[in-house]
Amino acid sequence: MRFLLIALLLVSPLTFAELSQEDLSTILAPRIEGLKFLTKNGMLLESIRDQNRMEQSLDEIKKIDAEWKAGTSPLIKELQENKAGNFLKNIIIQQADVYSEAFLTDNQGANVAAYPATSDYWQGDEEKFTASFNGGKGKIFIGPVEFDESTKANAVQISVPMEYNDETIGVLVIGVKVSVLEAEKLQGK
């Protein structure tokens, strides 16, 4: 038993990167339940609905994305400081030992709020959005364990659909640090 505990303590991010989706789902089940609670937050839902009503074209979104990547978009700061951004920021700061990042998208994968700033504005071409938005049907998606450039942390991203009146209107993505996976695996979760 002592050997097993020592072996588990020495598990590297590379080993966690090799975990199956089923293993990750089992380990992250309590976190996923907590995220489901966040999907009912009225302020987050209203923030997404407000942005969806703007009906931005994909060309507009890609223009903002290019400015975002270049570091010139005023939205980088704005989406961290709007109501939803501040809400996500509080979660990340209060639980910095657990979460590396959180961001909210609209129905096209454009950021509505983010903390800290993501490396790009448009998530619509990335699996974390497309798999969770699921063509408007919504489903939970767990990404691979990987090093995230924007947060400089080894983490796994959990994407949960944001639904309003049984319609998927956006996606909430939260990065869970590998250290949490290690601890929860040790506890048998």
CATH assignment of the domain containing 112: 3.30.450.20
The token duo for 129 is: 């959005």
Both tokens assigned to 188:
């048998």
Choose between 179 and 83: higher pLDDT: 83
pLDDT tens for 111-146 read 999 999 999 999 999 999 999 999 999 999 999 888
pLDDT at 15 over 70: no
Do the beta carbons of residue 85 and residue 79 sit within 8 Å?
Answer: yes
pLDDT in tens, 26-64: 888 888 888 888 999 999 999 999 999 999 999 999 999
Cis peptide upstream of residue 144 (ω within 30 degrees of 0): no
pTM, whole model, 2 decimals?
0.85
Task: State the residue for tokens 């991203």.
Answer: 157
- Residues 155, 175 contacting (CB under 8 angstroms): yes
Which residue range(s) make up the domain with 175? 2-186
User: In total, how many domains does the chain have?
Assistant: 1
Tell me the C-alpha distance between 16 and 156, whole Å. Answer: 10
Q: What angle do CA 9, 115, 138 make, to 5 degrees?
A: 85
Q: Which residues contact 90 (CB under 8 A, 6 or more apart)?
A: none
CA atoms of 179 and 146, how far apart (whole Å): 12
Who contacts 33 (Cβ-Cβ below 8 Å, separation ≥6)? none
Tell me the pLDDT of the chain averaged across its residues.
86
